[in-house]
Structure 1
Amino acid sequence: MDLKILFSPSEGKIYPLYQEKDNSSLFDLSFVSDKALKAYMTMLQNASEEKICAVLGSKKIDLEELSLLQNLYNAPRIESIRLYNGVAYKALGFEELDSKTKDYLYKHVYIFSNLFGVLRAKECVPYYNVHQGKGFGDFGLKKIYQDTKVLLDKEFSQGMVLDLRAEAYIKAYPICEKSASDYYQIVFLKNGKKVSHYAKWYRGVYLRTLAIHHISNLGELLALDIPHLSYRGEKITQNATILTYDVQE
């Protein structure tokens, strides 16, 4: 079965130091919203300093960063799964993995960004910065996914979809046109309550374990021993099968 794993980005990112290929184009990305990118760069060129700081989540403008952001089409690029370095990506530890495990992630992972739309793990993108919830207009989160919905619905209509996204991205692009038996959401509980603050870490641990064991179907997934997590059970709703895990101390 074709397995597709949905993952979130992180606020933390690295500055790419190299250009992937001289003639690369952002239009080579599978699901990019060109309208969103143009709106974002227009904002960076014309908005007030206060507005730019709000979008970037900073108190003052870093001129080096601003210059990079204003030239997205010509900026150095890096594979999307290497770009992010937030909590979930630290738990994933991509650079520590062997080549076969990295290939698994390249093949199966889709990262839902808050500017580029959906990125395949191996697709190369430049550094960008949009503070969570601060995008607006054509680069507002919901608008980005409205503009790419037709493409995404087609992409995720087949195979098993395992959703490790944060709630904001599930709301921005809910998977509704799919059988609940093929669409799985993952929930982490601690002392009977849904984990919030540390959920990012456990998503990274979960994805790392899937990749190391090259999981390809539900049977293998449910039999998997995942560090710090214990499988609790499933609940089938109208739109999804919810797989619940208890966090172990």
Structure 2
Amino acid sequence: RNTIIFSNLFGPVLGGDALPNYKLKQGEKFGGIDAAKFYRNSFSAALDRYLADECVVDLRAGFYEKFYDMKREYLSFSFIKGGKVLSHYAKAWRGKVLREIALAGACNEAEVLALRLGGASVLEIKQIGLKKEIVLEIS
């Protein structure tokens, strides 16, 4: 109930929702539909209501940020290793962050910042508009 996943085929779904096995590449169009525009136009108002009183930690890959624009303050993470932004392994680190949030029951910024993420340390915290980006240095 507390995790929303953006599926290229189904749009925003809850972490516990059952989905059929499917194969649709990120950004692939189907039936002439631009998924990002369709989901943004179809689900934004409902997501605004759903997230209204929640502490939001946005762990979406950049591609999925087009599906929904946050309209309130939120936390986000980026991952740096050896001075370079992680791209391929960022998905694994987003999963680690989500797992630790779930295990700790973290529900506010202080609790998220207190998480122990083995192999990572906070390098900096940047405020970019509504987003507070926590930059993790991965060892």
TM-score (norm 1): 0.52
Check conservation: 2:36, 2:66, Cα contact below 8 A.
Answer: no
Query: In structure 1, what is the equivalent of residue 86 of structure 2?
Result: 195
Q: Check conservation: 1:229, 1:247, Cα contact below 8 A.
A: yes
Tell me the amino acid that sits aligned with residue 128 of structure 1: Y
Question: Deviation per CA, 1:106-161, whole angstroms, max 9, x where unpaired?
Answer: x3111111111111111222222211111243352332232222212222232211
Match of 2:10 in 1: 116
- C-alpha contact (below 8 Å) 1:205/1:227 kept by paired residues: no
Contact 2:39 2:68 in 1 (8 A): no
2:22 equivalent in structure 1: 128
Contact 2:77 2:134 in 1 (8 A): yes
Residue 187 (structure 1) shift: 0.7
**Percentage of pairs with the same residue:** 33
What is the 5 A alignment of 1:53-72? none
Gaps of 5+ in 1: 1-106
Structure holding more helix per residue: 1
- 1:239 aligns with 130
**Deviations 1:58-95 (CA, angstroms, capped at 9, x unpaired):** xxxxxxxxxxxxxxxxxxxxxxxxxxxxxxxxxxxxxx
- How many residues matched? 138
Cα distance change, pair 139–129 in 1 and its aligned pair in 2 (3 A): farther
Superposed CA RMSD in Å reads: 1.6
Aligned residue for 1:152? Answer: 47
Larger radius of gyration: 1
* In 2, Cα distance between equivalents of 1:208 and 1:185: 15
Q: Are the aligned partners of 1:232 and 1:244 in contact in 2 as well (CA < 8 Å)?
A: yes
CA contact (8 A) 1:117 1:144 kept: yes
Please state how far the C-alpha of 1:239 moved relative to its aligned partner.
2.2
Q: Give the Cα separation in 2 of the matches to 1:140 and 1:220.
A: 34
Length-normalised TM-score, structure 2 = 0.88
Q: Which amino acid aligns with 1:170?
A: E
Alpha-carbon distance in 1 for matches of 2:96, 2:5: 16
